[in-house]
Amino acid sequence: MSETLLSMRKITKRFPGVLANDEISFDLFKGEIHALVGENGAGKTTLMKILYGLYSPDSGEIYIKGKRITIKNPKEAINGGIGMVHQHFMLVPPFTVLENIIIGEETKKFGLLDESLPAEKIKALMEKNGLIVDLNSRVEDVPVGLQQRVEILKILYRGAEILVFDEPTAVLTPQEVEDLFKTFRQLISQGKGIVFISHKLDEVLEIADRITVIRKGRVIKTLNRDEATKSLIAELMVGKPVLLEVSRPDVKEGPAVLEVKYLSLQDYRKVNILTDVSFTVHAGEIYGIAGVEGNGQTELVEVIAEAAPILHGDILLNGESITNWDVRQRREAGISHIPEDRHRYGLLLPFSLAENLTLGMHHKEPFVNRFQIINKNKIREHAKAVIEKFDIRTPSELTTALALSGGNQQKVIVARELSTEPKLLLAAQPTRGVDIGATEFIHNQLMIAKKEGRAVLLVSADLDEVMSLSDRIGVMFKGRIIKEFEREKTTKEEIGFYMMGEKEHAGN
Amino acid sequence: MNFGLILFFLVKGLEISAPIAFAALGAVFSERSGVVNIALEGIMIVTSFTIVWASLALNSIWMGLFFAVIAGMLIALIHAVVSVTFKVDQIVSGVAINILAFGLARFLSQKVFGQETQTPTNPHLFPQLLGINSMAFVLIPIAIIAWFVLYRTVFGLRLRTVGENPEAGDTLGLNVLGLRYAGVIISGAMCGFSAATLFPSQWISGMTAGRGYIALAAMIFGRWDPIGAILASLLFGYADTFRIMFETKIPIPSQFVQMFPYILAVVVLAGMVGKARAPAADGKPYEKGED
């Protein structure tokens, strides 16, 4: 094989109570795309943060082009030719694209900031790599896919040869993913090397030359592309065979449970977040909302779950308008909600599992007596039963929610929201940041809910998830549902097309 | 109304606005770097004592100004150490400094001059121009320089970066904490100029009378922008000038008339709700490597 760009040898990093990286060795060749896969918490991000100088390793060595270096901070990483596109973009939204690219590598003219010379340099980079962005737009006005281009331009501007992409496709539509992969190929043809971190195995198999699987801080195996299969990688990641396909029960659709009619919502600046959104979810149906994040999905779920002042429109539950009901009325009428941000809205992290599992029912018997005094024993009994039923991995029901892994925290929420036997379940990003095992479990729970005749509204940024679970799919773009599909009658590519608003005026 | 009176009103208004404007200008730098500086009031107390003390001791108002600027930077440095390095809540740190400064100035006055609530009068004054303290006019070039520094220099771009997204700054190799120190210390230095235009002829306990807070309000009303902050300070300053000049001619108890600038501050800020946007990381300590 060709020249080695990067070699990390026996990197070990210990955090209090966790061995995040246990003698991890990792190589990157010139002109190669090397995928790094593993469950959340397996140690991928820690390893890359060490490479980028954000953490210092307890032991281990890093070589760049055969030369040993120590990287104490990002500046040294940049100087060593390492560039990173972080999972959460490191951009300054109110600044222009140009400013974002040059921060830290500015050019001066007479002591003042010079923008003309960098602009020329960046334009040359944009043309060479097919990454066109308007340099004078503010980043906050630029769509997510283009923001990522800004991030790539940022690292190319610094002359990086080792490019690390931490879950770059999570926020992209399928077409944008194709564009990104084109860019990848373009970059490796120039002799650069790419580390591609992802948990989307199809994408890894499509683009990577080699695949390194890590689990619990250790390298399990490095595979060449021709020896890798999806199920093999998944098994290596989890440590046991995984069922990747969800089995879909055949359920006869019932009456309409949730009806949203011409719903419009504005933010404090009087800008429309939702515009005339209408759709219906039936009993025994999973209705999926696909769309690039930030197109109104979050607000749509919130306005159904909570009371919010809407501009106009109506929300009906079993034919009855609930638009003016408060949250408790809605919950008691049978709405459950798995919120998008589990830490902020889903759990009380410093509280015990028992308490978290009774939230929302805590004011009702048997959890309180008729004087509203809490009955701790009943809460614990209930928790024990739910933990058993939903297979939540915890030392005890008195453990705090904080102490659990992300997957188990999410299971706690799913368990609580389903234990009320809701008529309508709102599931917003139910498997975000959750490991494969818990994802499988949560998907099965959604299928069970469907089988039991519950209506489910699923919102997910993961198009594969929406495609595999939903019966019907609505595509949201700029606060509208611009197209609705039957699951069998569409393709990922078609939905992706609408997600970008390309057919905004064509259909519907 | 005659021409002379109008001219006097305009010039006097500048003089009265200047202490607020300098502090507001300083606050822009602190807040754009991500540090809320409610300690302006306390820093102003210390600088307005220092300018009198150093002038008397060294027989020069210019030495007074020099040491006032230094004193302002030192008190600001305390705020930076506590809130940037040790990540104590910035409001708590600021309030603590205000209380400390109040006592410190009185303590020093007692030690140096033998009286707790005021100093002797300071005969060394800045030259007069158009009948007012000429330092007030310095505001104009300083405002222009501040605008250039913030928007047209590398330092300004980096300072604004760490105020908006310190993590991004960190990944680009910027010294986040150093830049925040710089922002806070600039605001302390500016409070030295506030003291130079407030009342350099004597220090009296309580003479700042909340101008530090008004400056903070002006900075917010001015949308975290140097020129905006100056214009907002002028609004408050002229409101106060109007109050001073016409207080006795209005048939309202003077205590109510004196409230005018402060009520204006409240009304103006309430009207701003939802319109102004603070730097995204303003008030948030930066934790490196946070997940």
Q: What ipTM does the predicted assembly reach?
A: 0.88
| Domains contained in chain A, number | 2
Chain B residues with beta carbon closer than 8 angstroms to that of A112: 148, 152-153
Domain boundary among the residues A206, A238, A270 is at A238
- Same structural domain for residues A232 and A272? no
What pLDDT does residue A244 have? 67
Question: A329 is in which domain, residue-wise?
Answer: 256-347+421-499
What pLDDT does residue B49 have? 97
Tens digits of per-residue pLDDT, B151-205?
A: 999 999 999 999 999 999 999 999 999 999 999 999 999 999 999 999 999 999 9
Domain boundary among the residues A208, A238, A268 is at A238
What pLDDT does residue A506 have? 47
**Could you give the 3-state DSSP secondary structure of residue A459?**
strand
What pLDDT does residue B290 have? 42
| A357 within domain boundaries | no
| A301 within domain boundaries | yes
Q: Give mean pLDDT, residues B22-42.
A: 97
For A89, the token pair is 């973009």
Does A268 touch chain B if contact means CB atoms closer than 8 Å? yes
| Domains contained in chain B, number | 1
| A412 within domain boundaries | no
- Same structural domain for residues A206 and A292? no
For A180, the token pair is 């990104």
| A428 within domain boundaries | yes
| A32 within domain boundaries | yes
> B1 falls in which pLDDT band (50, 70, 90)?
low
For A131, the token pair is 């990454």
| B147 within domain boundaries | yes
d(CA A380, CA B87): 39
> B240 falls in which pLDDT band (50, 70, 90)?
confident
pLDDT at B291 over 70: no
Chain B residues 169-188 with a CB less than 8 Å from chain A: 169-174
| A355 within domain boundaries | no
* Beta carbons of A74 and B161 less than 8 Å apart: no
- Same structural domain for residues A201 and A332? no
Q: Give mean pLDDT, residues B268-277.
A: 71
Question: For residue A77, what is the nearest residue in chain B, using CA coordinates?
Answer: B173
- Same structural domain for residues A165 and A299? no
| B48 within domain boundaries | yes
- Same structural domain for residues A214 and A311? no
| B20 within domain boundaries | yes
Tens digits of per-residue pLDDT, A63-82?
A: 999 999 999 999 999 999 99
* Beta carbons of A75 and B173 less than 8 Å apart: yes
The residue count for chain A:
508
Q: Which residue has the tokens 């107390």?
A: B45
What pLDDT does residue B271 have? 77
- Same structural domain for residues A147 and A277? no
| B262 within domain boundaries | no
| B7 within domain boundaries | no
Tens digits of per-residue pLDDT, B118-156?
A: 999 999 999 999 989 999 999 999 999 999 999 999 999
- Same structural domain for residues A213 and A272? no
User: Measured between CB atoms, which of A84, A102, A268 is closest to B171?
Assistant: A84
Crossing angle (nearest 10°) for helices B3-32 and B154-164? 70
Does B156 touch chain A if contact means CB atoms closer than 8 Å? yes
- Asked if A498 and A482 touch (Cβ cutoff 8 Å), the reply is yes
| A364 within domain boundaries | no
CATH number of the domain residue A192 falls in: 3.40.50.300
d(CA B224, CA B219): 6
The model's pTM is: 0.83
What pLDDT does residue A187 have? 95
What pLDDT does residue B276 have? 67
Does A108 touch chain B if contact means CB atoms closer than 8 Å? yes
For A500, the token pair is 């970008």
Does A75 touch chain B if contact means CB atoms closer than 8 Å? yes
pLDDT at B64 over 60: yes
- Same structural domain for residues A70 and A165? yes
- Same structural domain for residues A58 and A169? yes
d(CA A333, CA B202): 71
- Asked if A290 and A499 touch (Cβ cutoff 8 Å), the reply is yes
| B242 within domain boundaries | no
- Same structural domain for residues A86 and A149? yes
Q: What is the 3-state secondary structure (H, E, C) of A154-175?
A: HHHHCCCCEEEEECCCCCCCHH
Chain A residues with beta carbon closer than 8 angstroms to that of B171: 52, 54, 74, 84, 86, 90
Weakly modelled stretches of chain A, pLDDT under 70: 1, 244, 503-508
- Same structural domain for residues A122 and A25? yes
Residue A414 φ then ψ, to 5°: -60, -45
Question: B172 is in which domain, residue-wise?
Answer: 12-125+134-215
Sign of the torsion formed by the C-alpha atoms of A403, A407, A408 and A413? positive
Residue A137 DSSP one-character state:
S
What pLDDT does residue B80 have? 97
d(CA B162, CA B9): 41
- Same structural domain for residues A201 and A296? no
